[in-house]
């Protein structure tokens, strides 16, 4: 059995090329899409992530409005900054980089975002709108900003012509960022979905039933080779930094022996997240125009 590597860099390049084309069309009509990145504090990993987003913005022709803020900022001061960006006509998408310092409430910051500028697609009003729709076709046609990582997974599967309808999908992880919304997306695409987690009884048996197995639990090499059905499609959303290096939630080296297709870490889902962030921003600008 030959293994298919699901190349997120290549898939993201396709999305970003479309973003650049749409951005140029908007610029020619007098509107440059703008993405605001809010970074609180000096976390090294967050600085790297934001730097990548700024570079991708510039490469695709979007305006990048970066807002660095001190770790000591108060909740009210941060919310004031968000409201300022909500009112800024140059800004069509806003992302507040997480995690925030412990004294700040990320839920309150998320609720303060203008849903129309929700580049991450995580505002409850946006999530509620698309989750009510029955089919994945309807979700895409709605124009609602979708959570970037789950939507990136769906686009990666589409570009690689991975069938979803009629298949058994198991998502391991129940976060509001990935697990829950991705489960709803796969359901809208006509998969039979099981949303599992670290406390699922006989989790290994549940995983072995999956034609499509998604690992989004945040634990390095959590999914073992023996848990994977032969020929299954394995999507690894994990990004875990350890003293030994960077690992996903799947034991990648061992999983290659049984999986039919698999995402690498890095270079799998990660690039798709950034690409969908820019796509949400351009879509917001198009709707404004």
Closest CA to 97 of 125, 124, 68: 68
Q: List beta partners, residue 223.
A: 250
CA angle 253, 217, 222 (to 5 degrees): 35
In a domain, 226, yes or no: yes
| Catalytic residue flag (residue 114) | no
In a domain, 79, yes or no: yes
Together in a domain, 162 and 229: yes
Q: What per-residue confidence (pLDDT) applies to 23?
A: 98
In a domain, 129, yes or no: no
Together in a domain, 191 and 85: no
Together in a domain, 161 and 248: yes
pLDDT along the chain (289 residues), means of 10: 91 98 97 97 87 94 96 97 97 95 95 97 96 96 96 98 98 96 98 97 98 96 97 96 90 95 96 97 94
In a domain, 225, yes or no: yes
**Number of alpha carbons in the 13 Å side-chain half-sphere of residue 94:** 26
Residue 253 sits in a domain whose CATH number is 3.40.50.720
Together in a domain, 93 and 159: no
| Catalytic residue flag (residue 120) | yes
| Catalytic residue flag (residue 42) | no
DSSP helix/strand/coil, 215: strand
Domain containing residue 80: 31-114
Residue 85 sits in a domain whose CATH number is 3.40.50.10860
Q: What per-residue confidence (pLDDT) applies to 154?
A: 98
Q: Are 217 and 173 in contact (CB under 8 A)?
A: yes
Together in a domain, 100 and 156: no
Together in a domain, 107 and 165: no
Verdict on whether the full-model pTM lies above 0.75: yes
**Catalytic annotation, pick one of 56, 81, 117, 120:** 120
Our count of domains for the chain comes to 2
DSSP helix/strand/coil, 69: strand
Q: What per-residue confidence (pLDDT) applies to 1?
A: 58
Together in a domain, 82 and 160: no
| Rounded CA separation 289/278 (Å) | 17
Closest CA to 38 of 71, 70, 66: 66
φ, ψ of residue 66 in degrees (nearest 5): -95, 135
DSSP helix/strand/coil, 50: helix
**Catalytic annotation, pick one of 56, 81, 97, 211:** 97
| Rounded CA separation 11/15 (Å) | 7
| Rounded CA separation 259/254 (Å) | 9
Q: Are 64 and 37 in contact (CB under 8 A)?
A: yes
- The radius of gyration computed from the CA coordinates of the chain, to the nearest angstrom, equals 19
Q: What per-residue confidence (pLDDT) applies to 256?
A: 94
């Amino acid at each position: 059995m030959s293994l298919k590597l699901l190349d997120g860099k290549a898939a993201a390049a396709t999305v970003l090329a479309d973003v650049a084309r749409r951005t140029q069309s908007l610029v020619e009509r007098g509107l440059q899409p703008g993405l605001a990145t809010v970074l609180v504090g000096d976390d090294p990993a967050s600085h790297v992530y934001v730097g990548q987003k700024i570079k991708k913005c510039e490469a695709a022709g979007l305006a990048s409005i970066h807002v660095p803020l001190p770790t000591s900022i108060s909740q009210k001061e941060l919310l004031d900054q968000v409201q300022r960006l909500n009112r800024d006509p140059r800004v069509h998408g806003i992302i507040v980089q997480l995690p925030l310092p412990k004294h700040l409430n990320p839920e309150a910051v998320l609720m303060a975002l203008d849903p129309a500028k929700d580049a991450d697609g995580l505002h409850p009003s946006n999530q509620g709108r698309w989750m009510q729709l029955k089919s994945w076709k309807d979700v895409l046609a709605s124009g609602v900003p979708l959570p970037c990582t789950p939507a990136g997974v769906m686009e990666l599967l589409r570009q690689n012509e991975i069938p979803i309808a009629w298949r058994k999908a198991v998502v391991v992880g129940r976060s509001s960022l990935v697990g829950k919304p991705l489960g709803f997306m796969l359901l809208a695409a006509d998969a039979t979905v099981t949303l599992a987690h670290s406390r699922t009884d006989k989790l290994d048996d549940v995983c072995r039933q999956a034609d499509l197995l998604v690992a989004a639990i945040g634990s390095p090499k959590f999914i073992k080779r023996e848990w994977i059905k032969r020929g299954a499609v394995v999507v690894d959303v994990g990004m875990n930094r350890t003293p030994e290096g960077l690992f996903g939630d799947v034991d990648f080296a061992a999983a290659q022996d049984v999986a039919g297709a698999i995402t690498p870490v890095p270079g799998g889902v990660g690039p798709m997240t950034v690409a969908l962030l820019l796509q949400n921003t351009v879509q917001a600008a198009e709707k404004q125009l």
